[in-house]
Amino acid sequence: MADARIVVRLDEPIAQINPNIYGHFAEHLGTCIYDGVWVGPDSPIPNIDGIRRDVVEALKRLNPPVIRWPGGCFADDYHWQDGIGPHEERPRTVNLWWGESIESNHFGTHEFIRFCRLVGAAPYLCGNVGSGSPRELRDWVEYCNFSGESTLAMTRAANGSAEPFDVCYWGVGNENWGCGGRFCPEDYGTEYKRFSTFLHDMSGTPLYLIACGPNGNNPDWTRRFMSKIGDYSRIHGYAAHYYCGTAGTATEYTVDQWYQLLQRSRKVETLIAQQRAILDGYQPVGVGARRRIGLIIDEWGTWHPPTPGRHPKHLWQQNTMRDALVAASTLDIFNRHADKVVMANIAQTINVLQAMILTDGADMLTTPTYHVYEMYKAHQGGMSVRTTVDTPNVTFAGAEGDESMPMLAVSASHKEDLLTVSVVNYAADTPIEAAIDLRQGRARGGHVRVLRAADIHGHNTFESPHAVEPATAPLDRSGEMWPFTFAPASVTVLHIHLG
């Protein structure tokens, strides 16, 4: 008899999965941009106009839908004019937030747009509310998007881009409850309305304006902000941040700490449900109608203690199988709530926090989290369908006594006759056999990909960059119900042909 049962209800669609929930975030922090993305055109490291070629090729394999830039805390002290024009004429400024590093401004608006186009992602620009002005942000929109003969558009052309950049996604500040200005919700609401009043669609590019939401699941911030802006209509997205933190360190943790962090990461589901319900209370919609304000989580992920030997303000951390399971479980939550979440941006793309990629000089490696994104890309744009899971629980020592959590997490989506089912086995040392029950569908083979390591601390290093990688095998299953065994501490994606 199977240990668990997974029912995939093909006749109960939830919503189409917005590819943007598989988005990324790159901040001027540590070596995310400099060395991670930008090495300059004269570097011996192979590059495309100064952008690392190996990073471009790796990111393209993820089908990245959107990248958020330039911050983060950096955004509310960033003045975009510093990052345009000849490199040798750009000012050298101090990065206030991340270790007082000298910012060369060699990677600016043009370089970021070039990076996005190389990897196939839409740009998401986060504007400066904390130390900037409405005029400054309004001018950045014109510089990027206007196709006529204004001074700003002609300056863009003189700097190498005659055609507008057509940037749709614009954040009106970042973490304005903290490093973005220490606003209370009401004061930020006032500033949001003031800044966004001057952000207009230009030359046929519609703007998608994103407001700063709460730090974690803070209902008070959302209610007070929404009460302040009232029926103001120039808001399209609302962005919360959710970091699940750590338990132990990035690479050293007990089995109990393995479960503690995975349990903490699962709480983003509560944030989604509660924040969406609050927004719906202020912007009610009828059954089947499209919500006017989309819920976004544009910073999320693990945040481990500083790595010994590294600058503590640069937030470099190793990335293990535990981080991979956090990523997979979180993406499964986003998939299951495809009717509620329109964008999410993991923090961050390269060399910072829960990174896809780590670089060291000319060397580059992809992390277990990267492999999750590559395995899960089939979900992008698919129709999410309801799943139910009957699974045993695991009990562990939590911060305040014994806790328990289910051993399996699941999401499913389909595109025509291809069904993608992703499954996380949280159990550190227990394989689980599950009966896979397809309602209103029959399997006729496919393939399976599994990401696991020799132990729960498995990770890739520059000495062993391929230690943790997914394995692919045929899926020789047919019919409406069949068993499958999920390895311990693993991420599995079943690609099932229906017929």
* 350, 406: one domain: no
Q: What average pLDDT does the segment 146-161 reach?
A: 97
User: Which of 342, 365, 381 is the C-terminal boundary of a domain?
Assistant: 381
Whole-number pLDDT of residue 1: 59
In Å, how far are 83, 131, 171, 292 from 195, measured between CA atoms? 21, 12, 11, 19
**Structural domain for 79, as ranges:** 18-381
Whole-number pLDDT of residue 283: 76
Instruction: Check pLDDT > 80 for residue 285.
Output: no
* 253, 339: one domain: yes
Q: What average pLDDT does the segment 436-447 reach?
A: 94
Q: Report d(CA 446, CA 496) in Å as an integer.
A: 5
Contact 451, 430 (CB under 8 A): no
Whole-number pLDDT of residue 289: 60
Contact 240, 213 (CB under 8 A): yes
* 22, 147: one domain: yes
What CATH number does residue 459 fall under?
2.60.40.1180
In Å, how far are 3, 181, 326 from 241, measured between CA atoms? 36, 16, 15
Please, which residues have CB within 8 angstroms of residue 438's CB and are 6 or more apart in sequence? 8, 10, 419, 480, 481, 496, 498
* 389, 246: one domain: no
Q: Which position has the higher pLDDT, 441 or 422?
A: 422
Confidence of residue 288 (pLDDT cuts 50, 70, 90): low
Joined together, the tokens standing for residue 440 give 């209103």
* 66, 209: one domain: yes
Instruction: Check pLDDT > 60 for residue 118.
Output: yes
Instruction: Check pLDDT > 70 for residue 17.
Output: yes
pTM of the full predicted structure? Answer: 0.97
In this predicted model, what pLDDT tens digit does every residue of 206-252 receive, in sequence order? 999 999 999 999 999 999 999 999 989 899 999 999 999 999 999 99
Active-site residue set? 175, 299
Whole-number pLDDT of residue 399: 82
User: Which of 354, 381, 408 is the C-terminal boundary of a domain?
Assistant: 381
In this predicted model, what pLDDT tens digit does every residue of 46-103 receive, in sequence order? 999 999 999 999 999 999 999 999 999 999 999 999 999 999 999 999 999 999 999 9
Q: Report d(CA 357, CA 78) in Å as an integer.
A: 25
In this predicted model, what pLDDT tens digit does every residue of 20-57 receive, in sequence order? 999 999 999 999 999 999 999 999 999 999 999 999 99
How confident is the prediction for the chain on average, in pLDDT?
96
Whole-number pLDDT of residue 291: 85
In this predicted model, what pLDDT tens digit does every residue of 165-194 receive, in sequence order? 999 999 999 999 999 999 999 999 999 999
Domain count, the chain: 2
